[in-house]
Amino acid sequence: MDDKEIEAIKLHVAGATVRHTPPFDDLKSFKNDFELSRDFLDKWVIPFFMNIGHFSGHLDTKWIDSLKRIKCEITPEIIEQNLGDFNWRTRQTGAYFSALTNQTQFIDIIGTHLLKSEVSYAGGAYCEVFASFNLPKCIDYLNLYLDYYLTKPDLWFDQKDAMEAIMYLDKINSTNNIDRHRSNWIQFIKNKPNWPEEITTDNLEKRLQVIETVKKYAC
C-alpha cells in the first residue's frame, strides 16, 4: 500500500467520504498543527460523539447528567482543539461543547466547517448548535449553506438539518427565511424518495432542550 492509498483511507475514516469542490475556497478552515493525544480523545470525544444529534423519544437524564458533570471543565482550548481536528467525531463534539457553554466566539470556525463540508456527519451538529445560538451570523451561515447545497442534488449532505434549523429559527424569531429555500428544496429531494418534503422541527426542539438544560446548569 503506497502513501496515497494510506492517506485516502485516513480521509475516509475522518469522514471525508465525498470529494467535492464548493465555492468557498477563500474560507480557511481552522486546523490543528498537532495530533490529539489518546488521553484527550478518551476524555473529551469518545464518551460523547455517538450521542450528539440523536433523540430516542424522551429526554435522556443519563446523557444530560453526563454533560453536566463535564460542563464546568470545558475550556475554550478544549473546544478549539476538537474543532481543529480533521475528523467528524471531534469537530461535532467541539461544536456541541461550544453550545453547552454558550461560547459564541467559535461561530465563524463552525460556519466555515459547515460551508466547506470537508467531513461527513458533523454538519447536523453544526446546524443544531446554530439553532441554539440564534444569532444573525448563524442564520447567515445556514442561508449560505442552503443557497449552495440545495442546488447540488447529488450531494446528500446536511441540507435537511439546515432546513430544520432555519425553520426553527423562523418560528422563534417570527421571520420567514424558509421561503427563500422552499423551491430549491423541492427540486433537491426529487431524487431522494426517502427524504420527506415536509420540514418539521419536533426532534430538533427536543434535542435543543438537552442543550438548554445543560446550558442553564450553574458551575
pLDDT at position 3 = 40
pLDDT at position 59 = 74
Mean pLDDT of 48-63: 82
Owner of C-alpha cell 448548535: 129
Mean pLDDT of 192-219: 94
d(CA 47, CA 108) in angstroms, rounded, equals: 26
Q: Is the pLDDT of residue 16 over 60?
A: no
Owner of C-alpha cell 442561508: 143
pLDDT at position 11 = 37
d(CA 124, CA 117) in angstroms, rounded, equals: 11
Return mean pLDDT, the chain. 89
Q: Which three cell numbers stand for residue 126?
A: 453544526
Mean pLDDT of 29-55: 93
d(CA 76, CA 30) in angstroms, rounded, equals: 14
pLDDT at position 1 = 33
> By mean pLDDT, which of 11-20, 23-32, 62-71 is the weakest?
11-20
Mean pLDDT of 59-74: 93
For residue 42, with 0-12 CB atoms within 10 Å meaning exposed, 13-18 middle and 19 or more buried, which class applies?
exposed
pTM of the model: 0.88
pLDDT at position 20 = 60
Decide which of 26 and 5 is more confident: 26
Query: Long-range pairs for 172-177 at CB < 8 Å and ≥24 separation?
Result: 172/134, 173/134, 175/139, 177/139, 177/142, 177/143
Whole-angstrom CA distances from 199 to 125, 149, 173, 193, 212 are: 17, 16, 17, 15, 22
d(CA 141, CA 150) in angstroms, rounded, equals: 14
SS3 47: coil
For the chain, which domains are there? 57-215 (1.25.10)
Mean pLDDT of 165-175: 98
- Predicted confidence (pLDDT) per residue in 107-123, tens digit: 999 999 999 999 889 99
Q: Is the pLDDT of residue 91 over 70?
A: yes
Give the residue among 75, 71, 87 at the shortest CA–CA distance from 32. 87
User: Who's near 78: CB < 8 A, 6+ residues apart?
Assistant: 44, 94, 97
pLDDT at position 219 = 82
At how many degrees (to 10) do helices 123-133 and 107-116 cross?
Answer: 140
Q: Which three cell numbers stand for residue 77?
A: 482550548
